[in-house]
Structure 1
Amino acid sequence: MDLLNSCEFFLQHCETEKKLSILTIRAYRNDLNCFVKVTGENAELKNFSETWIEDAAQLWLSDPDLKATTVKRRIACLKSYVRWLFRRKLITFNPLERLHLQIRLPKRLPRNLQTDEIKKLLVIKPENIVGKTNKKNSSALTRLEWDKFTARLAIEVLTLTGVRVSELVKIKLLDIDQALQQIRILGKGNRERLVSFPDTVTTARLNIYRDYAYSRFGFEIAKSLFLNGLGRPANEQYIRRIVRTFAKDAQLDRRVTPHMLRHTAATQLLEAGVDIRYVQKVLGHGSITTTEIYTHVADHALRTEISRANIRKRLEIYR
């Protein structure tokens, strides 16, 4: 079997057996296509060697237009592909056992919002956005007002739960347990988890949002939690756009993204003293090492607060 055909079989395996998301499959396909361009699509699997991966990595690392994170992602994809080849006995040995490849990534802290920025985002209550508009006459809301209404609630859910935007748009009404104030989330790798709201306020607001949605779009609308201005299920692009616009209207200097709100949720939990293993579970991380990056953010905040407190000045003033 040649390299190109084996890549297609691997992608089918990822889609049908591993049930990876469309976005992951798309990324894998792109990464494998880049590998095939380096090695040659007619290359025979019987000649597969660790040098194929090393040569591709060196070529990518020498490209000034490619980030180290992109190269590392491509290598991770190739490792998954090679392990599959070996399990299926399409290659006679595992090249990864002889692969010596280290890609150093620059240390970069997650971008999260500070407490004062969060307060700016959440200072306007959702009920104040709809104002005096009656639920029975929600059609009086303009398209922009509906977007703002949706954005405010999406920001609240993202900040309180730390869910990914891809997970947010998949939430159905049946996924919400109002009695327990929990939402069932279907995350990466089809792993399920539960996230909770700290009180009943958010669930009450979501009920109000749904009442307005029924009045505006009718009872035959989709069972998705969030809807766009046409009453259709909100997609990731829509949520990103309205969150960015909402933050701009709130006069935040930075460009706010849903993923930044996920970082913010993790940081807030750690700074509040929540055990890192609980934070790992909330975020749906498969490995705690992924969650540990947020401890650096919390430590940074601690150092900032210590510096601001200026204990030395307080102590030496009495000399």
Structure 2
Amino acid sequence: MTMEEQTLEGWYDNRGKQQCLDRILGKLGEQALPGASDVEQYFRNLYRRNVSTQTLKTAFTAIQSFQVFLKNCGKFDLRSLTPEDLEAFVESQQDRGLKPLSVKNNLRQVQTFLRYLIAGGIVSSGVLARPIRIKVPDALPRAMDPLDVKRLLSVTQNVRDRAMILVLLRTGMRIGELLRTRVSDVHLEERKILLWVGEKNRTGRVVYLSEDACKALRAWERKRDGGKALLFHAQGRSSMGYTAARTLLGKYLKKANLSHKGYSLHCLRHTCATELLNAGMRLECLQQLLGHSTVEQTRRYARLSDKTREEEYFRAMARIEGRKSDERDGAPGEIPTLSEETQLLEPYHQELHEHAAALPSVAARTG
């Protein structure tokens, strides 16, 4: 990516972020909700900190629901907030039927907002005095079955679509990252793609291309419109949206008779992570490839298959049994003969004899 392209992309990113902020401030002005002026200042602060557009949207959804809750409770002054108010908000979210993860995420956004108010002396620190911990079920990552992957690829004959699906499957990229990838970011000779800014953590990274992904990209390279800057684009357009990409995958899942399995674009990322882990890649390396900020995220993201656990168990057990057999005089699994047993026990018998000789006789003890 040239300096000019980076500047242009940054301009578009900032423009979209500014438009998002304007919409948020507009909604705050339209609704008479508690703490509107404080919320406005908070979002201006987030914008100055250069958080992503998605972070602005997520934070607004959570904080607006908190404002609506306070309004329904007749509480319009944020300065009078108590720990009980926060606990009641969580219960109201649960009563609405929100999933535990959604409740937890909303609570985290509201708590971050309250910390901002505490730092500004607007709200008492006692509001967050009682920790609220929400247990979230440890859901297994939704990776595709290997046979289903083969079935999906077998029906994906369109050059562009096959390249998209293979790149997602082999790199673990997020769909948003792939849709923003430029032709200049792809280095087929070196078999890698440069991601300048991460979808979530705003950090750049490098992902690598398998042989089949490179082959699919070369085929797409020969057919794509060379005048388009983005790697993937819809017909007659300069880009492709998330909805179009989701529809694309849905079409092939239906063609492969896999619609009932609930696979999504993000499942391709889980599939890549799980396959790499089961192939023996270390978690630290996988973490870097996926763009996770912590190994814990990666550990939750990919799981060892039953087959891998089985192989690891028997490999470890073979080492244990091998060590035990090395420690024995006889061959592994061989039962010592009577003469061998006598020889093995002879030192023990000798030690008992010496110990008994050292003890006083019964006559001496009773005399």
Q: Aligned in 2, Cα 1:300/1:35: closer, same or farther, shift over 3 Å?
A: farther
Structure showing greater relative contact order (alpha-carbon pairs closer than 8 Å, 6 or more residues apart): 1
CA positional deviation for 1:273: 0.7
What code does the residue aligned with 2:55 have?
A: T
Percent identity between the aligned chains?
22
1:159 to 163, 169, 172: 169
Corresponding residue number in structure 1 for 2:94? 61
User: SS in structure 1 opposite 2:93?
Assistant: helix
Q: 1:16 to 1:94 in 2, by over 3 A?
A: farther
Q: Take 1:15 and 1:176, find their aligned partners in 2: how far apart are those partners?
A: 31
Contact (CA 8 Å) 2:166, 2:216: kept in 1 or not? no
> Does the residue aligned with 1:74 lie in a helix, a strand or coil?
helix
Shift in Å, 1:43 = 2.7
Secondary structure at the residue paired with 2:272? helix
**Change in 2 beyond 3 A, CA 1:241/1:50:** same
Provide the secondary structure at the position in 2 that maps to 1:163. Answer: coil
**Are 1:288 and 2:295 counterparts?**
yes
- Return the match for 2:144 from 87, 105, 113: 113
Provide structure 2 residue ranges, at least 5 long, that are not aligned to the other structure: 1-33, 313-367
Matching residue of 1:79: 111
Does residue 268 of structure 1 match 2:275?
yes
Asked whether the 8 Å contact 2:159–2:219 carries over to 1, the reply is no
Change (3 A) 1:293 1:300: farther
Counterpart in 1 of 2:83? 50
Q: Secondary structure at the match of 2:205?
A: strand
Tell me, yes or no, if the aligned pair for 1:83 and 1:94 is still in contact at 8 Å. no
1:4–1:42 contact (8 Å) kept in structure 2 = no
The aligned counterpart of 2:45 is 13
Alignment RMSD (CA, Å) = 2.6
Give the direction of change, closer, same or farther, for the CA distance of 1:212–1:299 in structure 2 (3 Å limit).
closer
**Residues 86 and 192 (structure 1), Cα distance of their counterparts in 2 relative to 1, 3 Å cut:** farther
Find the aligned partners of 1:90 and 1:193 in 2 and give their Cα distance: 40
Q: Is the 8 A contact 2:201 2:291 kept in 1?
A: no
Question: How far did 1:293 drift?
Answer: 1.6
- Unaligned runs of 5+ residues in structure 1 are 130-147, 307-319
Amino acid of the structure 2 residue aligned with 1:205: A
1:170 aligns with one of 164, 180, 190: 180
Of 46, 53, 56, the match for 1:25: 56
Distance in 2 (alpha carbons) for counterparts of 1:71 and 1:46: 24
8 Å CA contact 1:247, 1:255 repeated in 2: no
1:294 offset after TM fit, Å?
3.8
Q: How many matched pairs?
A: 276
Partner of 1:139: none
Q: Is the 8 A contact 2:159 2:216 kept in 1?
A: no
Structure 2 Cα separation of the partners of residues 299 and 178 of structure 1: 31
Identify the residue that residue 309 of structure 1 maps to in structure 2: none
Query: Does the C-alpha gap of structure 1 residues 50 and 179 become closer, same or farther in structure 2, counting only changes over 3 Å?
Result: farther
Give the 5 Å matches for 1:1-319: 3-21=35-53, 23-40=54-71, 43-63=76-96, 65-91=97-123, 93=125, 95-96=127-128, 98-123=129-154, 129=157, 148-185=158-195, 186-187=197-198, 188-199=200-211, 201-214=212-225, 219-221=226-228, 223-252=229-258, 253-295=260-302, 297-302=303-308
Q: Distance in 2 between matches of 1:103 and 1:59?
A: 14
CA displacement at 1:180 relative to structure 2: 2.4
- Secondary structure of the residue aligned to 2:262 is coil
Shift of residue 3, structure 1, vs aligned partner: 1.8
Compute the TM-score of the two structures, normalised by the length of structure 1.
0.77
1:13 counterpart letter in structure 2: N
